[in-house]
Amino acid sequence: MKITFKGDYALKAILHLSLNYNRKLLTGNDLAKLIDAPSKFLEQILVDLKKGGFIESRRGNAGGYLLSKDPSLITLGEVLRHIEGPTEPISCIKDDYTNCVHIDSCVFRPVWQRVDKAASDIIDNITFAGLAKQAVKGGLNP
Amino acid sequence: MKITFKGDYALKAILHLSLNYNRKLLTGNDLAKLIDAPSKFLEQILVDLKKGGFIESRRGNAGGYLLSKDPSLITLGEVLRHIEGPTEPISCIKDDYTNCVHIDSCVFRPVWQRVDKAASDIIDNITFAGLAKQAVKGGLNP
DNA sequence: TATAATTCCTATATATTAAGTAGACTATGT
DNA sequence: ACATAGTCTACTTAATATATAGGAATTATA
């Protein structure tokens, strides 16, 4: 698993929208400042998050972004996979992979599968409700 | 953690050299055929593995490569880190990272640290002696 | 209804990395 | 000497990451 700036920004954006769930909208600029990201870059990521069904937007004056569902229903893994693609360390661990002749006897494949499962077990069991709670406890205001 | 072709080739090369430890040398071409890699690309990787102290070489006629230590003393993690660099999912989890203002209150950082530890716990506890044994059991001849 | 504040859309730029290719040079056993 | 290796340096090509730029469409509100 590799987290790029794009993924990092996406997760932080969702976190801040979680902190403001049912409170108020945040504009692209609001979010860009909060998470210290270039606003035009973040804009593209927000479009992507919208396509993924994680957020909604209101256009025009007084517009902005909001979560489209309760933070307790969004996991870190879901968001990360939507933005970054598959989290597996190498693509040969997929069931339908056919590009390797030695796949049946490969001793590495089971290792990568273990690594992938270990990571998934972590990120798929963390919700943004939990993260937001932690963030508040850590002193981050909505 | 992300494994590129380079890393994949490197691990497979070390595995085959493990299978032939104390038996015979393998040439670059031998290895390239065994692991289905472009030989000139593999060549560069072998130089890198040599610099890392994992393998030795004999030049000239009847030359080739061999492991420089017992396969039980080489872990998957060591080789992977030498070839691919750090395995952490994002660089901010390092102790000396200073590029992020919010690092102290960041709720994601501990997550990435958990993910990194989970992966390390796996790859740092697998030796090439173990892998070679498995490979033989799986039908792969030295 | 004009205006300012927003999101939405498309195109372009730049740097880095991945994954090789090519060719000449050096060493060595027979 | 010669065939068989490894060594070294440079170049190439494609993809990805990380943005920038500019304008079009939408909307609340004065």
Per-residue model confidence as pLDDT tens digits over B102-133:
877 899 999 999 999 999 999 999 999 999 99
User: Which residue is it, tokens 């691990």?
Assistant: B11
How many Å apart are CA B91 and CA B82, to the nearest integer? 16
| CATH fold of B5-87+126-137 | Arc Repressor Mutant, subunit A (1.10.10)
Q: Which two tokens stand for residue B72?
A: 């039980």
Q: Which band of pLDDT confidence, cut at 50, 70 and 90, is reported for residue A128? A: very high
Q: Which residue is nearest to nucleotide C3 (CA to C1')?
A: A61
For the ranges A96-100, A117-121, B29-33, B41-45, the lowest mean pLDDT is seen at: A96-100
Whole-structure pTM value: 0.94
Residues from chain B that touch A135, judged by Cβ atoms under 8 A, are: 105, 107
Q: Give pLDDT tens digits for B60-100.
A: 999 999 999 999 999 999 999 999 999 999 999 888 887 88
User: Which residue is it, tokens 């380079």?
Assistant: B6
Strand C within 7 Å of which CB atoms in B 1-60?
A: 4-6, 37-38, 40-41, 44, 58-60
Contact call for residues A32 and A38 (beta carbons, < 8 A): yes
Q: Give pLDDT tens digits for A77-89.
A: 999 999 999 999 9
In this predicted structure, what is the pLDDT of residue A27? 98
Alpha carbon of residue A16 to chain centroid: 12
Q: Which residue has the higher pLDDT, A132 or B138?
A: A132
In this predicted structure, what is the pLDDT of residue A36? 95
pLDDT for B140 beyond 80: no
Provide long-range contacts, Cβ within 8 A and 24+ apart, for A36-44. Answer: A36/B100, A36/B101, A36/B102, A37/A5, A37/A9, A37/A12, A37/A13, A41/A6, A41/A9, A42/A9, A42/A13
How many Å apart are CA B18 and CA A72, to the nearest integer? 49
A5-86+127-137: CATH class = mainly alpha
- DSSP summary character for residue A23: T
Nearest-CB residue to A118 (from B8, B118, B139): B118
Q: Which residue has the higher pLDDT, B27 or B99?
A: B27
